[in-house]
Structure 1
Amino acid sequence: MSDFGNYGGYGDGGFSTDVGGGFSTDSGVNERSQTRTSLTPVTIKQINDAHQDIPDGEFKIHNNELNMVSFVGIIRKVEEQASGVIIKVEDGTGSIDIKRWTDKSGSLSEDLEKYNQELNKYIFVSGALKSFNDRKSIQNSVIYPVTDHNQILYHHLSAINAHLKAQGVTNKSSQPTNGLFVSENDNSSVSPEDLVFNIVRDNSYSMPSGVSIALITQKSTLSNAEIHFICQNLTEQGKLYQGSDEDSYLCV
C-alpha cells in the first residue's frame, strides 16, 4: 500500500485561514493566523501535555502554540466503530487515538483492512489539534506510511528544533557551524529545509509548471516523504507555493 491520504491536503475536510477583521494589520491577528495555518512537528507527549488557558483557546506547550501538528508513530491498534475506524498510535512518548471517518466511496471493511495492514508499522500523521470532553484528538488528519526510516529521525530533530525556538534558543554567530542546525549564512552546509528551498528557487525560472519532487530527490539525499514534509512546511510559511500538481512546487 502506497498511501493513506493526499500529500498537502487535509483528508476529512479543509481548514480556513480567515481570522476575521477584514484587512486589519494588527500584529496579534497576524500571529494568530500564522499559528492556525502553520504545521508544528511534535511528539505525542507534547500533544497530551498541551493545555488551553481559556476554553476553545489555542493549545500551548512550553511557550509553543499548537494548532496544526504533525508526528510520527506506530499503529498499535485498529478498532471498528459505526461511522469509521479508531487508530491508536504511539511514538515512545505516549499514545493517541485518531478517528478516521469512512469515505462515502469506500466501506468500513476496506478501511479496517487498509489500516490493519500497517499494524505495528510507522506512519506520519498531520492534522488539527482539537479537544472534546477533555479528550484531545486529531481532526482533518492526513496519514501515510513511513517508507524511509530517516524520516523518523528527521521528524524528531524537527520537533526538538521547534521546541528550542519556542524557548528563545537560537543559533548564535559564535557557535560552531558544523552543528546539527546550520546557520543560513554558512555556505558550506545547509539544513534540509534550506536545501529543498534552494533547489526549488534555482529551478523555478526554467520550470514554470513547478519543480517536481522527483527532481528534488535527484538533487538531494532526502527521501520523498521528507521532501513532501519540508515542502508542506515551506508552503505554510509562504516561501513556496504549489505548481501545476500536488507533486511540484515553485518559489514565491
Structure 2
Amino acid sequence: MIMINEVTKTFQDKKQFVTALKHVTFSVKKGETVGLLGENGAGKTTLLRTIATLLAPSEGTVTVAGFNTIADPNEIKKRIGVLFGGETGLYDRLTARENLEYFAMLYGLSKHETKVRINDLAKMFGMKDYLDRKVGKFSKGMRQKVAIARTLIHDPEIILFDEPTTGLDITSSNVFRQLVHQLKSEGKTIVFSSHIMEEVALLCDNVAMMHKGELVHHGNLEKLYQSESTRDLNYIFMSKLVRRDENYAS
C-alpha cells in the first residue's frame, strides 16, 4: 500500500543544508495501522508530508497505492486523508458544516453523499450541537474534531495523522482512539505520528521508530515486545537509541 525506498530529504537553511530524512526504507501493508515514534525533529512530519505528496524526496522513491508521489500526486490525493498537527485547514468564517461541505465538494462528492457523510461524522464526534456555528469561535478540541472529520469526509482508504491528539482533552482523545479502532475494522490503512507511547501501544499493529532522520526500528509490536522481553515501549525506544549510539561509537 505504501512503499518508502531509500528516501532522503534535505532542506537548505540559510547557507547550510539540513538532512531531515536519511535513507529511510519501510513499507505499510493494506489495512495496517503503523505508529511513527520519535522525539521532536526526528523526521516524522517530514516523512508524512513526503508520503502525502506535499514534499518531494531529495533521493529515493515513495509509492502509495501503486502510484509514485512525483509522477502521480493527484491519484494519491484522491485516496488519502491527511491531518497535520496544528494545521486544521479550516475557514474561521464558515460554520463546521460549511467547512465540511466545501471539502466534500473539492473531492467531488454529491450533495446526497455529503449530507450523509456529515451526519455520520457529526454523530461519531458529537458535533451536532455546534455543526452550524462558525469555526472561528471554537475551542481547540472542537476545531480538532472538525479537522479530523474534514480529513475523513471523502472516506479515504489511506489516512495520515500527525500528532492527532495534540490539544485534545481526555474525552476527545478517547473519541479519537475509538475512531482509529473503527477505521481499522473497516480495513483502512493508517499511519500516525505520536510521542505518546501508550497511544501507539493501544492502537498500532506495527511501529516505526525514528531518531535524527533515521529509521531506528520498524516491525510488528508484539514481536518487538517478545524480542525485548518487555512491553514497556518507552524503555524499548530509549534502549534502541542507546544501542544505536553505541554501534556508531564502536
TM-score range, shorter chain: under 0.3
TM, length-normalised to structure 2 = 0.28
TM, length-normalised to structure 1 = 0.28
Instruction: Flag the structure with higher helix content.
Output: 2
